[in-house]
Amino acid sequence: MPRIAMISLHTSPLDQPGMGDAGGMNVYVIELSRRLARRGIDVDIFTRATSSTLPHVMETDDGVTVRHITSGPFEGLSKDELPGQLCTFAREVLRAEAGLDAGHYDAVHSHYWLSGQVGALARDRWGVPLVHSMHTMAKVKNAALAEGDSPEPTARVIGEEQVVQAADMLIANTDAEAKQLINLYDAEAGRVEVVHPGVDLDVFRPQSKADARSSLDLPADADVLLFAGRIQPLKAPDVLLRAVAELLGRSPDLRSHLVVPIVGGPSGSGLEHPESLAELAADLGLSDVVRFVPPVAQSELARWYAAATLVAVPSYNESFGLVAVEAQATGTPVVAAAVGGLPTVVRDEHSGLLVDGHDPAAWSAALERVLRDDGLRSRLEAGALEQARQFSWERTTDRTLEVYREARRLMRADTDGVLA
């Protein structure tokens, strides 16, 4: 039976998305692993242990094995400090494999640059191909920094360049990301393949808006402008709040039935000032309409999407934009920044609206269009469902398996060339 070693060093796929470093990548790793397991492929996910109570080896209900690797303190270690644990983590991954039968793994699939560093070592040690998914890239993030956000360090840039050169195949979420890998990181075009992430259409599906609102204690007749995700400058929830303030300044009649839920927790540089968004809401006079909600499980998140009039995704960069496709799968239109992978996920004027830039005035105008124009909103709701059907985890799995096969072919060819 084929076996894949998934490496997700800095965040466990079992962590709750929307808090700390857990987000779309967590969902990606566990959902892909589950689908691979259903195809008869054993998947071991190597991730750093963040608690002494976690079992070293944990079998999930989906036939996936999670291996918790002890490297560094269990708590209090920021993502910026993780490079110092690379050697320990890599050593323990190699040690875990050494206790298995020879040739146990058929491929390594690493996620994010830190994991890619470990994956490159495992590739050479085990003699198997390395497939790498960047998820985010330092050069791209640094070119579109949010105000007050910190640039990614040079060490990460160098580390990413090394992983790009080491990988047998690179998976890009979108055509735009593929171009960035080639143009910014000198990746070989023949080693980059576009594979769109998916959405669980059984969880994120249309449901009664009235029932969803009732279960979440939202007024039946409310205009609900939802933000879901990690609260940090990169995700730009402040842009939504500033746009709402401008909207209410222009149309105060909307205030009596407006609700702006912010579903998620502080992350990244947002951890430095976890109360800053609530303070901004108060400064803008929005405390009566903004509701802060801690991260929730996917089934409840689906209810929030279904309850919303629209979902706002104002990020400064998104390699894909999982929130946008999840929201659309429930039939809710999305207003998103025209950056990164979001133009791939959101079809402008069909499943949502794309906004150039982050000017609150432009965002306010887009929000008001959806709220005021019933015909447009109905058209976008129908288009959202149609758009979301293009993204399924089954399709993602099919394409990923093709990449694994290509990585094996390319690695064999490279080896043949060396031997020749």
Residues annotated in a binding site: 10, 16-17, 21-26, 79, 112, 136, 156, 230, 235, 296, 305, 308, 318, 326, 332
CB atoms within 10 A of CB 55: 10
Residues annotated in a binding site for Mg(2+): 305, 308, 332
> Which residues, in sequence order, are CB contacts of 98 under 8 Å at separation 6+?
none
Task: Give the burial string for 336-373 (b: 16+ CB within 10 Å, else e).
Answer: bbebbbbbbbbbeeebbbbbeebebeebbbbbbebbee
Distance, CA of 148 to CA of 320 (rounded, Å): 23
Q: Please compute, for residue 181, the number of CA atoms within 13 A of its CA located in the half-sphere on the CB side.
A: 31
Quick one: pLDDT at residue 273? 45
Quick one: pLDDT at residue 11? 80
Task: Give the distance, in angstroms, between the CA of residue 401 and the centroid of all CA atoms in the same chain.
Answer: 20
Residue-by-residue DSSP string for 88-109: HHHHHHHHHHHTS-TT--SEEE
- The answer to whether 64 and 89 are in contact (CB under 8 A) is no
Quick one: pLDDT at residue 21? 54
Beta strand residue intervals within 275-333, DSSP E: 290-293, 310-313
Residue type, 336: A
Query: Judging by DSSP bridges, how do beta strands 64-69 and 57-59 pair with one another?
Result: antiparallel
> pLDDT tens digits for the chain (420 residues)?
599 999 999 887 777 554 455 567 888 999 999 999 999 999 999 999 988 888 899 988 787 999 999 998 877 777 788 888 999 999 999 999 998 888 899 999 999 999 999 999 999 999 999 999 999 999 998 988 877 788 999 999 999 999 999 999 999 999 999 999 999 999 999 999 999 999 999 999 999 999 999 999 999 999 999 999 989 898 999 999 999 999 999 999 999 999 999 999 875 544 444 588 999 999 999 999 999 999 998 999 999 999 999 999 999 999 899 999 999 999 999 999 999 999 999 999 999 999 999 999 999 999 999 999 999 999 999 999 999 999 999 999 999 999 999 999 998 777 665 443
Q: Which two tokens stand for residue 261?
A: 């839920």
Beta strand residue intervals within 257-382, DSSP E: 258-263, 290-293, 310-313, 334-337, 352-355
Residues annotated in a binding site for UDP-N-acetyl-alpha-D-glucosamine: 16-17, 24, 230, 235, 296, 318, 326
Residues annotated in a binding site for 1D-myo-inositol 3-phosphate: 10, 21-26, 79, 112, 136, 156
